[in-house]
Amino acid sequence: MDTTRAPAVNMSERKRQLVRDELTEAAVKLLANKGFEETTVDEIAAAVGMSRRTFSRYFESKEDVIVHMLAGAGTQLCAQLRARPTGESPAVALRHALSVFTAMMAGHPEKTQHVTRLILGTPALLARFLERQSHWQDEMTTILAERTGLSPEADLRPRLAAGVALTAFNAALRRWADGGGTVDMDELVDEAFTVVTPALDLATRAH
């Protein structure tokens, strides 16, 4: 058995992640100074000492560089949702899963504030972010269907619940961005979930 392959793969991915993070940092600074439309991929690549060709190994576009920070948490969100106790209500499980995002924001408040405001204020970035969210919703739908015993093909409720949870999060995210990050994101998500919890639990209750 080759015992060195997995560590090598992990190290390679960690290096790729470091480069992606460096590109994101550079892009956020450039976009904050110049604006989204005025900033080019060449400028972002040059800021970290790489060519455009090398840049393309890590991202397809400048939109992907910015969305990367928040979108990367989507995989963790779905993993957290899948790992929640089976007896937990859908609303509680979804709220805990979304803590992936709130923890990231608490750990990097200034950076996530810049990225969030860029995404929400730039149509091209917002479209890309919502595209990513649609993929999360697909996976969340599958997980909720498994948890509740509902068929995602025959029953609308798992998809509706996933959509409601993401809408609640997006509403809190916009309030957080508009407030300059002065209000705790966890509190905003809790407030949003107080409103939608009855609908979430009813929508995913199998007959």
For 122-149, the pLDDT digits (tens) are: 898 899 889 989 999 999 999 999 988 8
Query: Domain total for the chain?
Result: 2
* Pair (197, 97) in one structural domain: yes
Residues 10 and 96 in one domain: no
Report the C-alpha gap between 160 and 137 in whole angstroms.
Answer: 9
Q: Which of 59, 75, 94 is the last residue of a domain?
A: 59
pTM value? 0.82
Strand residues in 39-158 grouped as ranges (E): none
Phi first, then psi: what are they for 98, rounded to 5°?
A: -70, -10
The predicted structure's pLDDT at residue 196: 93
Same domain? 71 vs 139: yes
Which pLDDT does position 1 carry in this prediction? 47
Q: Is the Cα dihedral 11, 13, 15, 17 positive or negative?
A: negative
Low-confidence ranges of the chain (pLDDT < 70): 1-9, 202-207
Same domain, 151 and 106: yes
Q: Which domain holds residue 81?
A: 63-203
